[in-house]
Structure 1
Amino acid sequence: MRRFSLVVTATLLAFSSSAFARDTRVEQSLADLLSSQEARDVGIDGSVRFYLAGQPVTVLERLGQDVSNRKTNAANKSDEKACRWVALSTLLALQDGAKARGANAVVDIVSFYKSNEFRSATNYECYAGAILAGVALKGTYAKVP
Protein backbone atom coordinates (compact mmCIF):
# COMPACT_ATOMS: atom_id res chain seq x y z
CA MET A 1 0.00 0.00 0.00
CA ARG A 2 2.81 2.41 0.86
CA ARG A 3 4.45 1.77 -2.50
CA PHE A 4 1.17 2.54 -4.30
CA SER A 5 0.87 5.83 -2.37
CA LEU A 6 4.39 6.84 -3.37
CA VAL A 7 3.70 6.09 -7.04
CA VAL A 8 0.45 8.08 -6.97
CA THR A 9 2.12 11.00 -5.18
CA ALA A 10 5.04 11.07 -7.62
CA THR A 11 2.67 10.96 -10.59
CA LEU A 12 0.56 13.81 -9.23
CA LEU A 13 3.65 15.93 -8.56
CA ALA A 14 4.95 15.34 -12.06
CA PHE A 15 1.67 16.41 -13.65
CA SER A 16 1.11 19.38 -11.33
CA SER A 17 4.56 20.88 -11.98
CA SER A 18 4.06 20.77 -15.73
CA ALA A 19 0.60 22.27 -15.35
CA PHE A 20 2.12 25.31 -13.61
CA ALA A 21 4.94 25.75 -16.13
CA ARG A 22 4.50 28.89 -18.20
CA ASP A 23 6.43 30.30 -21.12
CA THR A 24 4.56 33.40 -22.22
CA ARG A 25 5.86 35.23 -25.29
CA VAL A 26 6.33 38.99 -24.75
CA GLU A 27 7.34 41.36 -27.54
CA GLN A 28 8.75 44.79 -26.63
CA SER A 29 10.28 47.79 -28.37
CA LEU A 30 14.08 47.85 -28.47
CA ALA A 31 14.19 51.61 -29.09
CA ASP A 32 12.05 52.29 -26.00
CA LEU A 33 14.28 50.07 -23.90
CA LEU A 34 17.53 51.64 -25.14
CA SER A 35 16.25 55.18 -24.52
CA SER A 36 15.10 54.38 -20.98
CA GLN A 37 16.69 55.52 -17.74
CA GLU A 38 16.97 51.81 -16.82
CA ALA A 39 19.35 51.30 -19.76
CA ARG A 40 21.60 54.13 -18.60
CA ASP A 41 21.45 52.87 -15.00
CA VAL A 42 22.78 49.40 -15.94
CA GLY A 43 25.58 50.77 -18.12
CA ILE A 44 24.24 50.84 -21.68
CA ASP A 45 26.38 53.87 -22.46
CA GLY A 46 25.77 54.60 -26.15
CA SER A 47 29.31 53.67 -27.18
CA VAL A 48 27.85 50.63 -28.96
CA ARG A 49 24.76 51.02 -31.10
CA PHE A 50 22.21 48.25 -31.62
CA TYR A 51 20.42 47.57 -34.92
CA LEU A 52 17.72 44.97 -35.28
CA ALA A 53 17.62 42.95 -38.51
CA GLY A 54 15.75 45.05 -41.04
CA GLN A 55 16.92 48.40 -39.69
CA PRO A 56 18.96 50.40 -42.18
CA VAL A 57 22.64 50.68 -41.31
CA THR A 58 25.87 51.07 -43.25
CA VAL A 59 28.40 48.47 -42.15
CA LEU A 60 32.09 49.23 -42.70
CA GLU A 61 33.42 45.98 -41.26
CA ARG A 62 31.88 42.82 -39.73
CA LEU A 63 33.77 41.38 -36.77
CA GLY A 64 31.98 38.12 -36.01
CA GLN A 65 28.64 36.89 -34.81
CA ASP A 66 27.57 36.10 -31.26
CA VAL A 67 24.58 34.96 -29.22
CA SER A 68 23.81 36.33 -25.77
CA ASN A 69 21.30 34.25 -23.81
CA ARG A 70 20.28 35.48 -20.37
CA LYS A 71 17.69 34.56 -17.76
CA THR A 72 16.44 36.48 -14.76
CA ASN A 73 14.25 35.95 -11.75
CA ALA A 74 10.66 36.77 -12.74
CA ALA A 75 9.02 36.02 -9.39
CA ASN A 76 6.82 38.87 -8.15
CA LYS A 77 7.48 40.91 -11.30
CA SER A 78 5.21 41.65 -14.22
CA ASP A 79 6.21 39.89 -17.44
CA GLU A 80 7.01 43.26 -18.99
CA LYS A 81 9.30 44.33 -16.14
CA ALA A 82 11.12 40.98 -16.00
CA CYS A 83 11.58 41.05 -19.78
CA ARG A 84 12.99 44.58 -19.76
CA TRP A 85 15.46 43.63 -17.04
CA VAL A 86 16.70 40.47 -18.76
CA ALA A 87 16.88 42.23 -22.15
CA LEU A 88 19.14 44.87 -20.61
CA SER A 89 21.40 42.15 -19.25
CA THR A 90 21.54 40.55 -22.69
CA LEU A 91 22.34 43.87 -24.39
CA LEU A 92 25.01 44.65 -21.80
CA ALA A 93 26.73 41.35 -22.64
CA LEU A 94 26.60 42.21 -26.36
CA GLN A 95 27.94 45.69 -25.62
CA ASP A 96 30.88 44.18 -23.72
CA GLY A 97 31.52 41.72 -26.56
CA ALA A 98 31.50 44.53 -29.11
CA LYS A 99 33.97 46.60 -27.11
CA ALA A 100 36.28 43.61 -26.72
CA ARG A 101 36.36 43.19 -30.50
CA GLY A 102 36.78 46.87 -31.33
CA ALA A 103 33.24 47.18 -32.70
CA ASN A 104 30.97 50.16 -32.21
CA ALA A 105 27.74 48.38 -33.14
CA VAL A 106 25.84 45.14 -33.07
CA VAL A 107 23.86 44.73 -36.30
CA ASP A 108 21.35 42.27 -37.75
CA ILE A 109 20.06 41.46 -34.27
CA VAL A 110 17.38 38.79 -34.09
CA SER A 111 15.73 37.16 -31.12
CA PHE A 112 17.02 33.61 -30.83
CA TYR A 113 15.11 32.04 -27.93
CA LYS A 114 15.55 28.26 -27.84
CA SER A 115 17.36 28.62 -31.21
CA ASN A 116 14.15 29.86 -32.87
CA GLU A 117 14.76 33.02 -34.85
CA PHE A 118 12.32 35.94 -34.59
CA ARG A 119 12.96 38.97 -36.80
CA SER A 120 11.53 42.42 -36.32
CA ALA A 121 12.86 45.85 -37.25
CA THR A 122 11.40 47.29 -34.03
CA ASN A 123 10.93 44.63 -31.33
CA TYR A 124 12.75 41.93 -29.44
CA GLU A 125 11.17 38.81 -28.02
CA CYS A 126 11.19 37.53 -24.44
CA TYR A 127 9.65 34.50 -22.78
CA ALA A 128 8.38 34.84 -19.24
CA GLY A 129 7.38 32.21 -16.75
CA ALA A 130 6.33 32.16 -13.12
CA ILE A 131 9.94 31.85 -11.96
CA LEU A 132 12.22 32.93 -14.87
CA ALA A 133 12.22 35.23 -17.89
CA GLY A 134 14.64 34.80 -20.75
CA VAL A 135 15.96 36.72 -23.75
CA ALA A 136 18.38 35.42 -26.36
CA LEU A 137 19.74 37.78 -29.01
CA LYS A 138 21.96 36.90 -31.95
CA GLY A 139 23.81 39.64 -33.76
CA THR A 140 26.93 40.60 -35.66
CA TYR A 141 29.63 42.82 -34.18
CA ALA A 142 30.45 45.60 -36.63
CA LYS A 143 32.09 48.92 -37.25
CA VAL A 144 29.65 51.54 -38.51
CA PRO A 145 30.21 55.22 -39.37
Structure 2
Amino acid sequence: MKSEPNVYSIDDLEREKRTIWDGVRNYQARNYLQQMQVGDIAFFYHSNCKSPSIVGLMMIIEANLPDPTQFDPKSSYFDPKATVEHPRWFTVRVQYQEKFSQVISLTTLKTKFSGDELLIVRKGNRLSVIPVAEEIAHKIRLL
Protein backbone atom coordinates (compact mmCIF):
# COMPACT_ATOMS: atom_id res chain seq x y z
CA MET A 1 0.00 0.00 0.00
CA LYS A 2 1.53 3.28 -1.15
CA SER A 3 1.53 6.68 0.45
CA GLU A 4 3.57 9.78 -0.17
CA PRO A 5 5.66 10.36 2.97
CA ASN A 6 4.83 14.08 2.99
CA VAL A 7 1.10 13.16 3.08
CA TYR A 8 1.14 10.16 5.44
CA SER A 9 4.32 8.30 6.38
CA ILE A 10 5.29 5.20 8.30
CA ASP A 11 6.31 7.58 11.10
CA ASP A 12 2.76 8.94 11.19
CA LEU A 13 1.37 5.42 11.46
CA GLU A 14 3.90 4.49 14.13
CA ARG A 15 2.86 7.54 16.17
CA GLU A 16 -0.91 7.04 15.66
CA LYS A 17 -0.75 3.21 15.87
CA ARG A 18 -3.74 2.77 13.53
CA THR A 19 -5.57 4.60 10.76
CA ILE A 20 -8.14 4.27 8.01
CA TRP A 21 -6.44 4.02 4.59
CA ASP A 22 -8.74 6.60 3.02
CA GLY A 23 -8.85 8.48 -0.25
CA VAL A 24 -8.24 5.65 -2.72
CA ARG A 25 -10.08 6.66 -5.90
CA ASN A 26 -9.12 4.04 -8.44
CA TYR A 27 -11.56 1.18 -9.01
CA GLN A 28 -8.88 -1.51 -9.34
CA ALA A 29 -7.13 -0.35 -6.15
CA ARG A 30 -10.53 -0.25 -4.42
CA ASN A 31 -11.19 -3.82 -5.53
CA TYR A 32 -7.84 -4.90 -4.07
CA LEU A 33 -8.77 -3.17 -0.80
CA GLN A 34 -12.07 -5.06 -0.76
CA GLN A 35 -10.20 -8.38 -1.03
CA MET A 36 -8.20 -7.71 2.14
CA GLN A 37 -9.12 -9.57 5.28
CA VAL A 38 -8.58 -8.93 8.97
CA GLY A 39 -5.15 -10.25 9.92
CA ASP A 40 -3.57 -9.69 6.49
CA ILE A 41 -0.16 -8.02 6.57
CA ALA A 42 0.58 -5.20 4.13
CA PHE A 43 3.81 -3.56 3.10
CA PHE A 44 3.93 0.21 3.68
CA TYR A 45 5.52 1.78 0.60
CA HIS A 46 6.68 5.40 0.37
CA SER A 47 6.09 6.73 -3.15
CA ASN A 48 6.69 9.97 -5.00
CA CYS A 49 9.85 10.73 -3.02
CA LYS A 50 13.60 10.73 -3.60
CA SER A 51 13.92 6.97 -3.05
CA PRO A 52 10.60 5.11 -3.32
CA SER A 53 10.84 2.17 -0.92
CA ILE A 54 9.07 -0.38 1.21
CA VAL A 55 9.54 1.06 4.68
CA GLY A 56 7.59 -1.21 7.01
CA LEU A 57 4.60 -3.40 7.73
CA MET A 58 1.04 -2.90 8.87
CA MET A 59 -1.81 -5.27 9.68
CA ILE A 60 -5.39 -5.07 8.44
CA ILE A 61 -7.56 -4.79 11.56
CA GLU A 62 -10.90 -3.91 9.91
CA ALA A 63 -11.90 -4.73 6.35
CA ASN A 64 -14.39 -3.56 3.74
CA LEU A 65 -15.26 -0.26 5.43
CA PRO A 66 -17.02 2.49 3.50
CA ASP A 67 -14.45 5.28 3.04
CA PRO A 68 -15.90 8.18 5.06
CA THR A 69 -14.20 10.83 2.89
CA GLN A 70 -16.59 10.04 0.01
CA PHE A 71 -19.46 11.52 2.03
CA ASP A 72 -17.69 14.70 3.18
CA PRO A 73 -18.29 17.66 0.83
CA LYS A 74 -15.25 19.41 2.36
CA SER A 75 -12.94 16.51 1.48
CA SER A 76 -10.95 16.43 -1.75
CA TYR A 77 -12.11 12.79 -1.96
CA PHE A 78 -15.82 13.67 -1.84
CA ASP A 79 -17.93 11.71 -4.32
CA PRO A 80 -21.37 13.27 -4.96
CA LYS A 81 -22.63 9.97 -6.41
CA ALA A 82 -21.89 8.05 -3.20
CA THR A 83 -24.53 7.67 -0.51
CA VAL A 84 -24.42 6.04 2.91
CA GLU A 85 -26.90 3.46 1.58
CA HIS A 86 -24.83 2.88 -1.58
CA PRO A 87 -21.16 3.72 -0.97
CA ARG A 88 -18.82 3.56 -3.95
CA TRP A 89 -15.47 3.57 -2.16
CA PHE A 90 -14.24 1.12 0.45
CA THR A 91 -11.17 0.93 2.58
CA VAL A 92 -9.50 -0.84 5.48
CA ARG A 93 -8.23 0.15 8.90
CA VAL A 94 -4.56 -0.67 9.44
CA GLN A 95 -2.41 -1.01 12.52
CA TYR A 96 1.29 -0.30 12.72
CA GLN A 97 3.45 -3.42 12.91
CA GLU A 98 7.04 -2.56 12.10
CA LYS A 99 9.33 0.07 10.63
CA PHE A 100 12.24 -1.47 8.74
CA SER A 101 15.73 -0.51 9.87
CA GLN A 102 16.79 -0.87 6.23
CA VAL A 103 14.24 0.19 3.62
CA ILE A 104 13.80 -1.90 0.47
CA SER A 105 14.14 0.48 -2.46
CA LEU A 106 12.27 0.29 -5.72
CA THR A 107 15.67 -0.03 -7.40
CA THR A 108 16.39 -3.16 -5.35
CA LEU A 109 12.94 -4.58 -6.08
CA LYS A 110 13.50 -4.06 -9.81
CA THR A 111 16.73 -6.05 -9.68
CA LYS A 112 15.11 -8.97 -7.82
CA PHE A 113 11.64 -9.26 -9.36
CA SER A 114 9.94 -9.08 -12.75
CA GLY A 115 6.75 -7.13 -13.41
CA ASP A 116 4.92 -10.46 -13.56
CA GLU A 117 6.09 -11.33 -10.06
CA LEU A 118 5.64 -7.93 -8.44
CA LEU A 119 3.32 -5.33 -9.98
CA ILE A 120 5.08 -2.36 -8.40
CA VAL A 121 8.09 -2.90 -10.67
CA ARG A 122 5.94 -3.07 -13.79
CA LYS A 123 6.43 -0.05 -16.01
CA GLY A 124 3.47 2.32 -15.82
CA ASN A 125 2.05 0.91 -12.59
CA ARG A 126 0.40 3.76 -10.70
CA LEU A 127 -1.95 1.90 -8.36
CA SER A 128 -1.76 2.82 -4.70
CA VAL A 129 -2.82 -0.66 -3.59
CA ILE A 130 -1.58 -3.85 -5.24
CA PRO A 131 -1.58 -7.50 -4.23
CA VAL A 132 1.66 -9.31 -3.47
CA ALA A 133 1.73 -13.10 -3.66
CA GLU A 134 2.68 -14.74 -0.36
CA GLU A 135 5.75 -16.38 -1.95
CA ILE A 136 6.98 -12.99 -3.25
CA ALA A 137 6.22 -11.29 0.08
CA HIS A 138 8.39 -13.87 1.82
CA LYS A 139 11.25 -13.20 -0.63
CA ILE A 140 10.90 -9.45 -0.09
CA ARG A 141 11.18 -9.93 3.68
CA LEU A 142 14.48 -11.77 3.13
CA LEU A 143 16.04 -8.84 1.23
TM-score range, shorter chain: under 0.3
Of structures 1 and 2, the one with the larger relative CO (CA 8 A, separation 6+) is 1
TM-score in terms of structure 1 length: 0.26
TM-score in terms of structure 2 length: 0.26
More helix by share: 1
